[in-house]
A = this chain, B = another copy of it.
Amino acid sequence: MSDLLRRLRARGWRLTAQRRVIAEVLDGEHVHYTADEVHARAVELLPEISRASVYNTLGELVTLGEVTEVNTDGRVRRYDPNAHEAHQHLVCSGCGAIRDVRLTDDPLSALPEGERFGFQVAQATVTYYGRCPACVAANAAPGPPVG
């Protein structure tokens, strides 16, 4: 059983076939699937699993902090199982490819006190946009940007 399933059981989750399958789909590293991509892969393992269960489970995993929601294109939400290691994302504006990146400095330290306006600042997300080697080579047309 995966670490994730073990932690969920410790939290009192019922280990249903649907949840096992979703955990298995999310098991890879550096994976950033949309809910429908998770569903498509889950269906291969458990044909009768519903979209609603995928949305339910992903939402619960986000609430528990086991999965992070990321949105790199301003359109679709993606689900990142690499939630226990702080990291940021590098996105290809040609093909949409996403890479995890680690920064040298905590991005919070780049926000001066005078720019905090009394907020209790808790978190920062940084997304880098550029062209991946394949898209630079292919000189592909840029896709929709959106930060």
A92 to B112 CA separation, bound complex (whole angstroms): 17
* Copies of this polypeptide in the complex: 2
Pairwise interchain contact A90-B105, C-beta atoms closer than 8 A: no
Pairwise interchain contact A126-B110, C-beta atoms closer than 8 A: yes
Pairwise interchain contact B119-A110, C-beta atoms closer than 8 A: no
Q: Is residue A123 contacting chain B, with contact meaning CB distance below 8 A?
A: yes
Interface residue ranges of A122-136 to B (CB < 8 Å): 122-133, 136
A118 to B97 CA separation, bound complex (whole angstroms): 13
Pairwise interchain contact B129-A126, C-beta atoms closer than 8 A: no
Nearest B-chain residue to A105, judged by Cβ: B110
**Using Cβ atoms and an 8 Å threshold, which residues of chain B touch A71?**
71, 74, 146-147
Pairwise interchain contact B107-A110, C-beta atoms closer than 8 A: yes
Pairwise interchain contact B90-A116, C-beta atoms closer than 8 A: yes
Pairwise interchain contact A103-B111, C-beta atoms closer than 8 A: yes
Q: Which residues of A contact B (CB under 8 A)?
A: 68-71, 74, 77, 88, 90, 92-93, 99, 101-105, 107-108, 110-112, 115-133, 136, 145-147
12 contacting pairs across A/B (C-beta < 8 A): A90-B119, A99-B117, A99-B119, A103-B112, A108-B128, A119-B132, A120-B131, A122-B129, A123-B128, A123-B147, A124-B127, A124-B129
Minimum-distance CB pairs A-B, first 7: A125-B147, A121-B130, A71-B74, A118-B133, A119-B130, A101-B115, A123-B129
